[in-house]
Amino acid sequence: MDMRAPANANAVTPRNRRRLPVGGWELALTGLLAAVVVGFGAAAPGFYTGPASLLGLTENFLPFGLVALGLSLVILTGGIDLSVGAVASLSAVLAAQLWSRFGVDIWAAAAVGVALGGVLGLVNAGVILRLGIEPLIATLGTSFLYGSAAVAAAGAEPPSGFPGGFTALGTGTVDGVLPASLAGLVPIQLVVFAAFAVLFSALVARSPFGRVLVMVGYSPDAARYSGIRTGRVLVTAYAVSGAMASLAGLVLASYYDAVRPDMGDVLLLTAITMVVLGGVSIFGGEGTVAGVVVSVLVLGFLRQGMLIAGFSDMVTTMLTGAILLASIAVKNLFNRRGTGLANQIWAMIRRPEPPRANPS
Amino acid sequence: MRSHRVSLGGAALALVLALSASPLVAAESGTPDTAKRIKVAMVPKLVGLSVFKANEDGAKAEAAKLNIDFLYTGPVTASAQGQVDAFNSLIARKFDVITTTSNNPTQLAPSLMRAMKAGIKVVAYDSDVAPAARDFFIQNTAYPAFGKALVESVIKYAGPNAKIAILSSTPDATIQNEWIGAVKTYLAATYPKVEIVATEYGQSSPSQSLTAGLNILQAHPDVTGIIAPDGAAVVGAAAAIEKLGKTGKVFTTGASNPDAVRQYVKSGVIKETPLWDEVKEGQLVMYVARLAANGALKDNDTFTAPGLGTYEVKDKVIVFSEPLIFDASNIDQYKF
């Protein structure tokens, strides 16, 4: 069976090609990551001043990565969650208020915050499934609700100045567990992100849930007719996305040692960019967590490198947009679903007879 | 308050340069040690806003005189996250001084404290950060002085028995609330018969401020003064007055850069409106940055900056100037 030669332009390629967590796209991204890190290391003084400083840079962007991991599940189902920023803000603000107003232990409050994020995700899924509202509109609506609730909960002077142990989550390094020579080297954020990256990768690529998730995204009707409870899959995806957004919000709270009702707003667009650049199709059913993880590192180090090299925020943001468009254009060009331009040209070259040989 | 009779912003800079170069001024102040070249960054709330640009113009000119490598960088939108990104990159690039006006006081603190730990001096100006996260703060004007200036620039024309309204930005805006507090204190002490009949908010948006201004004037036809201590609010209030044909009957004032209100000052809707000289403030920021890098400034101190004047440092806070009142006769001297 030769998969590179579709019988007609609309042929659906079997999905198992995507089962492996690493493919051509992921390898290409990894190459890009190496180029970014080595390039800035050589060209931008201050980017690499030792392994600790390089790893320390990840603290500045891994909250985006946590959101991207959760969001990738939702996008794999063919949906979208525009409420992640507001969920992050609301959970962080409420956790901080529990700590500051009600004297709840900060870690217990943080756990409540993450659980709340899961509940907010459930609400999203409920709005989408029960009210039959498109995910784009549904989560846009809930993002306004959650965002306003965060503003109301934050009050005029949102809490700041958390206990030292909690601020370590955002800015501390793993010490004690590792050999003494590695003390001060590995940020706690990086360990948290790596753990979730492995978990999510295994979940999507190796578990039955992952297979069902991708099926629902690839063809919801086919999945439903095969007896899959698609509703349940969606509920899980949105709940996980909400919980991960909350976790990111709490890491940000720790990093800034403060909460603000608008602190999550910056997360959304960058996280979507990371997921899509990671190779997850915005239409669902296609992509890997490994790709998203590498894309998080590519965009994160790129931004940090650009800033350290002295480029303004404006140029950095522009370049991110350009890279996204260019990479997706390249990807679409070689899209094997048959709609890619390169594929169509290839199909024409291969078959001299006109493609509409069989009009019905 | 100084008033240089010049016609262009560029000329004003040239004049300041000339003044500071004159031996008379230099003699009365200890010129800071400028032997070592230092790197100083200015991080505004966002780039591309004319008031911050005016700070930059002043800072750039002063940096050239003080042997400073000057960098102006900041986020494109008013975000604390973007400012923290900028700080982190400046720490990595080993700058000597970071100067900033903060989007919010708490979120920037950890990053700035990391900078201070790395030996970088931090000078806040315009909008303060948490006191533990900076070495010095340059405050635009003292709050009571600005409150008085706001009241006087309306009451002088509307009279001591006027009914007035307040049009602000948002209910939780720190500086605006401090100014409104100062306005009320000054009114109670000096013009007890003035009555504040309405307080509205324009969310720092010109169109929402216009709507709020129209609401005030239509709901309270007896209002003869609107105090609008926000750049967008004063424009909205002035536009509302003009739209309803109440020019000369209702007077407004605010806190805006001269470019935004020039037409209303000329048409007489705004008789007087206070702010401060943003260009000179930028110069002072660089001067303080130089002193801080030299370790030549104590928490409580006095110093004389050539061409700017003598300043008192009180508990790490330096008040920049008295309010600068723009009116039809002087507004064309200021372009920012």
Residue of A nearest to B75 (CA): A313
> Of the candidates B85, B92, B172, which has its C-beta nearest A46's C-beta?
B92
Q: What pLDDT, on a 0 to 100 scale, did the predictor assign at position A10?
A: 44
Q: Confidence class of residue B24 from pLDDT cuts 50, 70 and 90?
A: very low
| B116's tokens | 């201070």
Whole-structure pTM value: 0.79
CA dist., res. A102 & res. B81, Å (int): 28
Supply angle C-alpha A55, A269, A202, rounded to 5: 60
Segment B275-304, tens digit of pLDDT: 999 999 999 999 999 999 999 999 999 999
pLDDT band at A9 (very low <50, low <70, confident <90, very high): very low
* CA angle in degrees (0–180, nearest 5) for B333-B209-B243: 80
Name the DSSP class of A289. H
Q: What are phi and psi of B335, to 5 degrees?
A: -120, 85
Query: Please, how many CA atoms are within 13 Å of residue B266, restricted to the half-sphere of its CB?
Result: 8
What pLDDT does residue B233 have? 94
**Hey, what are A320's tokens?**
């991110």
The closest alpha carbon to A306, from A61, A69, A29, belongs to A61
pLDDT-wise least confident of A79-83, A235-239, B127-131 = B127-131
Task: Determine the Cα–Cα distance for residues B284 and B98; give it in Å rounded to an integer.
Answer: 14
ipTM beyond cut 0.85: no
Average per-residue pLDDT for chain B: 89
Express each pLDDT in A113-123 by its tens digit: 999 999 999 99
pLDDT, position A246? 98
> Are the C-beta atoms of residues A260 and A89 closer than 8 Å to each other?
yes
Share of chain A above pLDDT 70, in %: 88
Estimate the crossing angle of helix B143-158 against helix B174-190, to 10 degrees: 60
Q: Amino acid identity of A309?
A: A
Phi, psi dihedral angles at B48 (to 5 degrees): 90, 20
The pLDDT, as a whole number, for residue B25 is 39
Contact by Cβ (8 Å): A73, A212: no
Decide if pLDDT at B148 tops 90.
yes
Taking an 8 Å cut-off on Cβ atoms, the answer to whether A313 and B82 are in contact is yes
Report the residue of B43, B46, B81 to disrupt the A interface, i.e. the one with the largest count of A CBs within 10 Å: B81
- Counts of helices then strands in chain A (DSSP H, E): 15, 0
* Cα–Cα distance for residue pair A12/B4, rounded to 1 Å: 76
Mean pLDDT of chain A: 88
The two tokens of residue B249 are 């009957």
The residue among A27 and A10 whose pLDDT is bigger is: A27
Cβ-Cβ pairs closer than 8 A, A with B, add up to: 73
Nearest by CB to residue A46, choosing from B74, B93, B130, is B93
Q: Is B223 helix (H, G, I), strand (E, B) or coil?
A: strand
Residue B28 clears pLDDT 80, i.e. is over it? no
pLDDT of residue A6 exceeding 50, the answer is no
Query: For residue B69, how many other CB atoms are within 10 A of its CB?
Result: 12
Instruction: Work out the average pLDDT over B65-94.
Output: 91
pLDDT (mean) for B256-265 = 94
Where does the pLDDT of residue A355 fall: very low under 50, low under 70, confident under 90, or very high at 90 and above? low
Identify the band that residue A353 occupies on the pLDDT scale cut at 50, 70 and 90.
Answer: low
Whole-angstrom CA distances from A229 to A70, A226, A264 are 20, 9, 32
Residues of chain A with C-beta less than 8 angstroms from the C-beta of B84:
60, 256
Given this model, what pLDDT does residue A11 score?
Answer: 42
Query: In the predicted model, is pLDDT for residue B123 greater than 50?
Result: yes
* C-alpha triplet A85, A148, A143: angle, nearest 5°: 40
Residue A152: closest CA among chain B residues belongs to which residue? B172
Closest CB from A257, A304, A314 relative to B76: A314
**Residue pointed to by tokens 């010095």:** B136
pLDDT value at residue A57:
93
pLDDT over 80 at A350, yes or no: no
pLDDT classification of A127: cutoffs 50, 70, 90: very high
Sort B242 into a burial class: Cβ within 10 Å, 0-12 / 13-18 / 19+.
Answer: middle
User: How far is residue B287's CA from residue B306's CA, in Å, rounded to a whole number?
Assistant: 9
Share of chain B above pLDDT 90, in %: 76
- On the question of pLDDT at B37 being above 70, the answer is yes
Q: Does A312 touch chain B (CB under 8 A)?
A: yes
Statement: residue B7 has pLDDT above 80:
no
Backbone angles phi, psi at A320, to 5 degrees: -60, -45
Tens digits of per-residue pLDDT, B237-257?
A: 999 999 999 999 999 999 999
Phi, psi of B300 (to 5 degrees): -125, 115
Total Cβ atoms within 10 A of residue B17? 17
Specify whether the CB–CB gap between B1 and B321 falls below 8 A: yes
Residue bearing tokens 């899980």: A236
Sequence spans of domains, chain A:
58-267
* Domains and their CATH numbers in chain B: 9-140+277-333 (3.40.50.2300), 143-275 (3.40.50.2300)
Q: Where are the alpha helices (DSSP H) in chain B?
A: 9-21, 23-27, 50-65, 80-92, 109-117, 143-158, 174-190, 206-219, 231-243, 258-267, 278-294
Which residues does B155 contact at the CB level (< 8 Å), separation at least 6? B162, B164, B191, B194, B225
For the segment B177-185, the average pLDDT, to the nearest whole number, is: 94
A156 touches chain B (CB under 8 A): yes
